[in-house]
């Protein structure tokens, strides 16, 4: 080929696990989040680059391949998934005779697409590859009837914010908070005034549909989330002396005369999907962290807040579907988080994480370390077509946020 001009081209095509795995892993490694020289967070997708979307009803992964003569190189990728979620609510009369029943809020659903895991190799940036990947992914979204597309990004990630807002027509939509708590070497005490009951998935589904289906982003296929093997359980906290696992009457009867306060949440085992690792930390800080862990393990009764082992790959549990009612709901959420901490400890996780609306009243009950958390996870949204009917909620992208938001564990 010497002396001849070699043809350079770029193709965007579907990911093929047989030929693309190593190339994709290589790009992933080179795209560690965080500016070089400082702390970075490395994600190990455990040999399955589709893992972060494969639990969704419909998903796709595209790769960008640079072809120079005979040489082919994966230089970028993007993942996307589509599902049906609540975008608002309307009042509806239940029952055959419209005049008889009192109107009650029912969810309005829409088909949304979610973009995640967009990466372009540092050596190929600012060449329009990211833009092409997003456009091709949006094409697939439209073909499959998605009405909106959204993504979550770090507000400080200028490249990604500019790409989506300036170039692709997305607007800033919501800013929920990611709350992260370390898993200590000691068990956390669960309040003795609370009983925690593990609900069967069908009871959990009933409760969620009855009470939380009008929450923004509530997935219409909540049953498949709850029945997914990654859901370790839905836990309900009730005042001690009201119910136990043995006297649990089922969700229908529970809701017909609930105790004054109660709370629930579900636990998703993200540890089996990916692991994280903090890189770029000095030896001194690593040693200090190790010392706190050694002490916590040796003297668990002191309940020292040890720094978790985050400098080696660690897994996480994600808490989703957080809800509660009554004046003591925040306390009940706290008890559930303690229960979830102990479950994570038993299963060898490094952290427990959740994501809630910035207006969520129950967030007061969620223990977290500020330094590990992210106060504003920026969600951007775009309406994919002008020809959609406005439906009963109008253009969702222009609607004000609600008190709560449902963060689907399949997309973390």
Ligand X SMILES: CC(C)(COP(=O)(O)OP(=O)(O)OC[C@H]1O[C@@H](n2cnc3c(N)ncnc32)[C@H](O)[C@@H]1OP(=O)(O)O)[C@@H](O)C(=O)NCCC(=O)NCCS
Of residues 124 and 142, the one with the C-beta less far from ligand X: 124
Alpha-carbon distance 409 to 65, whole Å? Answer: 30
Helix/strand/coil percent split, the chain, to 5 = 30, 35, 35
Least distance (Å) between residue 59 CB and ligand X: 16
Helix (H) or strand (E) holding 62: strand 58-68
CB of 18 closer than 8 Å to CB of 24 = no
Least distance (Å) between residue 274 CB and ligand X: 15
CB of 207 closer than 8 Å to CB of 321 = no
Of residues 69 and 128, the one with the C-beta less far from ligand X: 128
Of residues 167 and 187, the one with the C-beta less far from ligand X: 167
Least distance (Å) between residue 81 CB and ligand X: 14
Go through 243-272 and write b for each residue having 16 or more CB atoms within 10 A of its CB, e for each that does not. beeeebeebeebeeebbebbbbbbbbbbbe
Interacting residues with ligand X (CB under 6 A):
31, 118-120, 125-131, 151, 153, 157-160, 162-163, 166-167
Alpha-carbon distance 271 to 231, whole Å? Answer: 11
Of residues 120 and 278, the one with the C-beta less far from ligand X: 120
Least distance (Å) between residue 28 CB and ligand X: 10
Alpha-carbon distance 186 to 341, whole Å? Answer: 10
Least distance (Å) between residue 385 CB and ligand X: 22
Of residues 80 and 88, the one with the C-beta less far from ligand X: 80
Retrieve residue 357's tokens: 């609306």
Least distance (Å) between residue 83 CB and ligand X: 19
Least distance (Å) between residue 133 CB and ligand X: 8
The three-state secondary structure class of 289 is: helix
According to DSSP, residue 185 is labeled S
According to DSSP, residue 166 is labeled I
Least distance (Å) between residue 97 CB and ligand X: 50
* Nearest alpha carbon to residue 157 among 35, 336, 29, 18: 35
Of residues 82 and 151, the one with the C-beta less far from ligand X: 151
Contacts 24+ apart (CB under 8 A), 244-250: 244/195, 244/197, 245/197, 245/198, 248/197, 248/199, 248/203, 250/203
Of residues 129 and 238, the one with the C-beta less far from ligand X: 129
DSSP state letters, 304-345: --PPP--SS-B-EEEEEEEEEESTTHHHHHHHHHHHHHHHHH
Of residues 151 and 197, the one with the C-beta less far from ligand X: 151
Of residues 31 and 236, the one with the C-beta less far from ligand X: 31
Least distance (Å) between residue 110 CB and ligand X: 22
The three-state secondary structure class of 151 is: strand
Of residues 51 and 108, the one with the C-beta less far from ligand X: 51
Alpha-carbon distance 383 to 395, whole Å? Answer: 8
Residue number of the CB closest to ligand X reads 130
Alpha-carbon distance 396 to 36, whole Å? Answer: 38
φ, ψ of residue 354 to 5 degrees: the values are -150, 170
CB of 183 closer than 8 Å to CB of 350 = yes
Least distance (Å) between residue 7 CB and ligand X: 21
């Amino acid at each position: 080929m010497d002396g001849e001009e070699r043809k350079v081209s770029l193709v965007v095509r579907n990911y093929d696990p047989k030929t693309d795995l190593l190339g994709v892993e290589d790009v992933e490694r080179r795209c560690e989040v965080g500016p070089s020289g400082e702390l970075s967070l490395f994600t190990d997708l455990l040999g399955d680059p589709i893992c972060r979307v494969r639990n969704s009803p419909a998903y796709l992964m595209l790769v960008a391949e640079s072809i120079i003569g005979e040489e082919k190189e994966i230089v970028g990728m993007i993942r996307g998934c589509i599902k049906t979620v609540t975008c608002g609510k309307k009042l509806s009369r239940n029952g055959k005779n419209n005049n008889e029943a009192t109107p009650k809020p029912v969810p309005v659903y829409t088909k949304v697409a979610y973009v995640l895991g967009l990466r372009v190799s540092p050596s190929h940036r600012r060449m329009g590859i990211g833009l092409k990947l997003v456009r091709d992914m949006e094409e697939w979204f439209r073909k499959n009837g998605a009405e909106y597309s959204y993504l979550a990004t770090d507000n400080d990630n200028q490249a990604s914010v500019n790409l989506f807002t300036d170039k692709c027509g997305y607007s800033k939509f919501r800013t929920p908070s990611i709350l992260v708590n370390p898993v200590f070497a000691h068990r956390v005490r669960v309040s003795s005034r609370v009983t925690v009951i593990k609900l069967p998935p069908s009871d959990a589904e009933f409760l969620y549909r009855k009470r939380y289906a009008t929450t923004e982003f509530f997935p219409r296929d909540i049953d498949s989330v709850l029945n997914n093997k990654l859901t370790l359980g839905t836990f309900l906290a009730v005042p001690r002396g009201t119910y136990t696992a043995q006297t649990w009457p089922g969700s229908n009867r529970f809701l017909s005369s609930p105790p004054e306060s109660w709370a629930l949440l579900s636990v998703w085992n993200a540890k089996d999907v990916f692991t994280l690792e903090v890189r770029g930390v000095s030896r001194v800080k690593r040693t200090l962290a190790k010392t706190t862990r050694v002490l916590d393990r040796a003297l668990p009764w002191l309940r020292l807040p040890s720094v978790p082992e985050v400098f080696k790959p660690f897994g996480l549990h994600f808490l989703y579907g957080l809800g509660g009612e009554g004046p003591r709901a925040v306390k009940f959420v706290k008890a559930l988080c303690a229960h979830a901490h102990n479950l994570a400890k038993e299963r060898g996780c490094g952290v427990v994480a959740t994501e809630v609306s910035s207006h969520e009243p129950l967030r007061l009950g969620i223990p977290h370390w500020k330094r590990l958390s992210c106060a504003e996870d920026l969600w951007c949204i775009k309406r994919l077509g002008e020809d959609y009917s406005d439906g009963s909620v109008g253009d969702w992208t222009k609607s004000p946020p609600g008190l709560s938001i449902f963060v689907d564990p399949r997309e973390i």
